[in-house]
Amino acid sequence: MSTTELLRREWTAFRRPGRLIALAAAALTVIALGLLVSLNSHSSCPGPCPAVPVAGDGSIVSDRFWFVHRDLGREGGITVRMTSMTGTITYPPPKHDQIVSGLVPWAKAGIIIKDGLRQGSRYAAIMMTGGHGVRFQHDYRDDVAGGAGGVSAASPRWLRLTRSGDTLTGSESADGSRWRTVATARLDGLPDTVQVGLFATSPGDLTLREVGLGGAIEEVRFTQAVGVFDNVTVQGGAPGKWDSDPIGTMNQTDWEKLHNASGAVEKDGVITISGTGDIGPLSEEGTRTVENVLLGLPVALIVLVIVAARYGTRTAREAASRRVIVARAVVVAGACFVTGLVAVGIVIPAGMAGMEGNGFVLPSLPVATGARVIAGLAAVLALCAVVAYALGVRLRRGRSAIVIGVALIAVPYAVTALPLLPDAVSAWLLRVTPAAGFAVKQTMVAYPQVTAHYAPSAGYFPLPGWAGLTLLCAYAAAGMLIAAGRKRAGEAGRR
């Protein structure tokens, strides 16, 4: 019998009403739960919602700071001495009972050249940070460390940022005489006139609160940075007074209203700028959206494991040949792949559309990324089914195969998606179990210049998608080799 005929025969044998109903129920569970969550989630603001910064490539970014600025032509630059940088953190742990002086590591104050005042527009900046020394950053994702990585934010530092056409160069100096170039960036298409000036910003103070059996959830507190500058000189800029504006919403918190408003003060050639927010990428871009609409995936995974394990048990009891065992594994994988492809292919675009209709501004999900997530998850479900099928063949007992399959595949995936276990334990479970394959759905990017909770419960997998899929393939291949090996041993014993 040819391979095609064998596969056709085995597919005909597999498509019993009970199995098809179970596969349909798995797909409908994913779709129904995803749509239920998306259609019942609503976004609202106390008043007009603030604008969402969108960069030139369509991605949502962080772009909020206080800006003291003036016009700059195609040739010129700005040089300053930053004399100090201080800050405030509101109610940090462990007691949460007082406001303290201090800087979060990625608080920033320095000089910037920006394409206008619109949030999300192109920029390059050189700055002092709260805990990472001097940095040169541009266009939200790019970050280069300066030579003053160990210099305290309280130490005076000279900064210079120059423009020559579309080329921007950041430099630093300890004394204002000997300069070191930190980095150069080319921002193609900059207009003839841009904005140049000084800025200050400070992202929230991220801490983790222990819950469950050692899991953690994020808590973010308001912070503010204050930069003090003197010896400010501009070449190629418009003469006259500086303009002072917030980029993004500012002065909405009680701290700013009652104690120290974000803004700028100039006196005797010294400019003091207070600001809050951040300039940079969003590490969780797309993550929350994908995770929220796939809440039914663990249930569907359990259903597919049960179907595959039971079919493997039946195969073993029928004393099928090794060729038939492999053919049936292909049929099981194909049926589960189609189930996953239909379920995920419907729920992700439909769920995102539902959330957008309810007022959410969602991060962009490029077509290639969406296709990778959909096809990747379908492949993962198919491979997980092969692992469960192989367990059924090897163990010959449906209940044992189901229990082991669920414990090995579904449980690690489900418990790591919740803030239940310590982050380190969750990470290791997703490094050594077949659940590592679900890394194919990751859209969260870990940026060194962004403080975030990079943990499985927050949507971040410890392995890249290709590595997780490779590990799952290894499990499936090993399972099939063991199942076929058992058959070979059985045949030898009969002889």
DSSP calls for 65-117: EEEEEEEEEEEEEEEEEEEEEEEEE-S-TTT--S-EE---TT-EEEEEEESSS
Q: Using the predicted structure, report yes or no on whether residue 224 has a pLDDT greater than 70.
A: yes
CATH of the domain at 214: 2.60.120
Q: Using the predicted structure, report yes or no on whether residue 149 has a pLDDT greater than 60.
A: no
Closest to 301 (Cα-Cα) out of 42, 27, 102: 27
Compute CA 233 distance to the chain's CA centroid, rounded to the nearest angstrom: 40
Band the pLDDT of 492: cuts 50, 70, 90: very low
Band the pLDDT of 148: cuts 50, 70, 90: low
Count: domains in the chain: 2
Q: What is the DSSP-derived secondary structure letter of residue 131? A: S
Considering the domain architecture, whether residues 270 and 296 belong to the same structural domain is answered as no
Report the pLDDT value the prediction gives residue 60, as an integer from 0 to 100: 87
Band the pLDDT of 289: cuts 50, 70, 90: low
In percent, the amount of the chain with pLDDT more than 90 equals 77
Report the pLDDT value the prediction gives residue 459, as an integer from 0 to 100: 86
Considering the domain architecture, whether residues 300 and 364 belong to the same structural domain is answered as yes
| Structural domain boundaries enclosing 309 | 3-40+285-494
Closest to 365 (Cα-Cα) out of 344, 379, 338, 382: 344
Report the pLDDT value the prediction gives residue 154, as an integer from 0 to 100: 63
Considering the domain architecture, whether residues 243 and 308 belong to the same structural domain is answered as no
Dist CA 346 CA 266 (whole Å): 57
Query: What DSSP letter does each residue of 400-441 carry, written as one string?
Result: HHHHHHIIIIIHHHHHHTTTTS-HHHHHHHHHHSGGGGGGGG
Band the pLDDT of 250: cuts 50, 70, 90: very high
Q: What is the mean pLDDT of residues 130-145?
A: 95
Winning range, highest mean pLDDT, from 42-46, 244-248, 357-361, 365-369: 244-248
Q: Using the predicted structure, report yes or no on whether residue 137 has a pLDDT greater than 50.
A: yes
Q: Using the predicted structure, report yes or no on whether residue 110 has a pLDDT greater than 80.
A: yes
Cα(first)–Cα(last) distance of the chain, in Å? 24
Q: What is the mean pLDDT of residues 23-45?
A: 89
Q: Using the predicted structure, report yes or no on whether residue 48 has a pLDDT greater than 80.
A: no
- Whole-Å CA distances, 158 to 76, 104, 181, 263: 17, 21, 12, 22
Per-chain mean pLDDT for the chain:
91
Considering the domain architecture, whether residues 274 and 290 belong to the same structural domain is answered as no
Considering the domain architecture, whether residues 258 and 351 belong to the same structural domain is answered as no
Considering the domain architecture, whether residues 94 and 185 belong to the same structural domain is answered as yes
- 45 inside domain: no
- 50 inside domain: no
Considering the domain architecture, whether residues 111 and 204 belong to the same structural domain is answered as yes
Lowest average pLDDT, out of 46-50, 393-397, 403-407, 469-473, goes to 46-50
Report the pLDDT value the prediction gives residue 88, as an integer from 0 to 100: 97
Considering the domain architecture, whether residues 265 and 317 belong to the same structural domain is answered as no
Q: What is the mean pLDDT of residues 137-166?
A: 86
Report the pLDDT value the prediction gives residue 493, as an integer from 0 to 100: 46
Q: Using the predicted structure, report yes or no on whether residue 274 has a pLDDT greater than 50.
A: yes
Considering the domain architecture, whether residues 398 and 350 belong to the same structural domain is answered as yes
Domain boundary among 258, 281, 304: 281
- 108 inside domain: yes
Q: What is the mean pLDDT of residues 81-104?
A: 93
Report the pLDDT value the prediction gives residue 484, as an integer from 0 to 100: 80
Considering the domain architecture, whether residues 11 and 153 belong to the same structural domain is answered as no
In DSSP terms, which residues pair with 197 in a beta bridge?
69, 112
In percent, the amount of the chain with pLDDT more than 70 equals 93
Report the pLDDT value the prediction gives residue 286, as an integer from 0 to 100: 46
- 53 inside domain: no
Q: Using the predicted structure, report yes or no on whether residue 49 has a pLDDT greater than 70.
A: no
Domain boundary among 265, 281, 297: 281
- 56 inside domain: no
Report the pLDDT value the prediction gives residue 480, as an integer from 0 to 100: 95
Continuous segment of H or E residues that includes residue 61? strand 61-63
Considering the domain architecture, whether residues 253 and 335 belong to the same structural domain is answered as no
Report the pLDDT value the prediction gives residue 46, as an integer from 0 to 100: 63
Band the pLDDT of 495: cuts 50, 70, 90: very low
Q: What is the mean pLDDT of residues 171-182?
A: 95
Dist CA 120 CA 100 (whole Å): 31
